[in-house]
């Protein structure tokens, strides 16, 4: 009798676990109003992700467009981890400005990105983030940004664009202005965003 009872108890407990996992995501989804694209109770969103890996950005865009709030929740396998993706400006404002202290990044984010981001504004939490944001706001005031952009523009005009056009005019060579001005604009934007003159 013991030999047949153990497999039956194991089967019943697995069935109860599967039923619990199947109901839990649906209840959580109703509670927070985030659209969760067809989560598997055991594998989370791993199967749809693998099916759409060749068109991941299009797939994610389709999911965000289909979600009522333009926000989706993604679940990891075995309930280990979840994430939120949004295309809703109000939600982005909520995350990044209005309620930023409620969304702590912690060591799980900061450690892998420390070489890239350091301990600056994008990796900081709490009071350190508030202090760095305040300091950065002085650097990115509209007046200082305008001055810096004008300096970068002047430097690119005198060092690159005007000499290129002068050389082309002197030689009688045809110039694709759309390409030249596109590169000029891109170079200016990159220099303003990432530094350099």
Whole-number pLDDT of residue 30: 45
Max Cα–Cα distance, the chain, nearest Å: 101
Taking 50 as the pLDDT cut, the residues of the chain under it are: 26-31
**Cβ neighbours of 106 (radius 10 Å):** 9
Whole-number pLDDT of residue 26: 47
Whole-number pLDDT of residue 181: 93
Alpha helices in the chain (DSSP H): 2-32, 46-51, 56-66, 89-93, 106-117, 126-139, 142-156, 162-171, 177-194
Q: Is 44 in contact with 76 (CB distance < 8 Å)?
A: yes
SS3 72: strand
């Amino acid at each position: 009798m013991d030999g047949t009872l153990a497999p039956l108890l194991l089967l019943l407990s697995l069935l109860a676990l599967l039923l619990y996992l199947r109901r839990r995501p649906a209840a959580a989804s109703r509670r927070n109003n985030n659209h969760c694209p067809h989560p598997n109770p055991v594998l989370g969103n791993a199967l749809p992700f693998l099916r759409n890996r060749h068109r991941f950005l299009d797939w994610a865009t389709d999911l965000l467009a289909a979600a009522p709030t333009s926000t989706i929740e993604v679940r990891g396998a075995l309930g280990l981890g979840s994430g939120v993706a949004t295309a809703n400006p109000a939600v982005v404002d909520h995350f990044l400005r209005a309620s930023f202290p409620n969304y702590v990044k912690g060591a799980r984010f900061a450690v892998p990105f420390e070489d890239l981001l350091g301990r600056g504004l994008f990796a900081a939490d709490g009071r350190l983030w508030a202090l760095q944001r305040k300091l950065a706001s002085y650097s990115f005031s509209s007046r200082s940004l305008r001055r810096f952009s004008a300096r970068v523009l002047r430097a690119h005009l005198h060092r690159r664009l005007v000499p290129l056009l002068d050389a082309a005019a002197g030689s009688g060579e045809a110039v694709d202005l759309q390409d030249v001005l596109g590169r000029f604009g891109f170079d200016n934007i990159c220099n303003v965003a990432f530094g350099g003159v």
